[in-house]
Amino acid sequence: MKVLYFAWLRERLNMSEEDIAFPPEVVTTGDVIAYLAARDEAGALAFERPAIFKTALDARIVPHGTPLADAKVIALLPPMTGG
C-alpha cells in the first residue's frame, strides 16, 4: 500500500511517501498508525499522539477504525496551522 505523509510529518520522517506491505494484523487505519509508530524511533516520536492525525483512504477522509479493505493509498495528515 502506498503511504503518503504530509506537512511536518513528511519533514520528521524525511520522506513524502513509501510503499509498505503491511502484515496481516494491520487491518484498519488506526493499525497503520500503530504499526508506523512501532517501526523505529522516528516513527514513535512522530506518531506519539495518534488521535491528532486525520487519515484518508484513496483520497477520502475516514475515521481511525476504518478497515483498509482494498484501498490502494493511505494519507496521514497531521494538524496544521496557517495564517
Q: Give yes or no for residue 3 having a pLDDT over 90.
A: yes
pLDDT one-digit tens code per residue, 11-34? 999 999 999 999 999 999 999 999
- 36: pLDDT confidence band, cut at 50, 70 and 90? very high
Provide long-range contacts, Cβ within 8 A and 24+ apart, for 25-28. 26/68, 27/67, 27/68, 28/64, 28/65, 28/66, 28/67, 28/68
Share of the chain above pLDDT 70, in %: 96
Domains of the chain plus CATH, in order, are 2-77 (3.10.20.30)
The pTM for the full model equals 0.92
Question: Rounded CA gap, 56 and 29, in Å?
Answer: 8
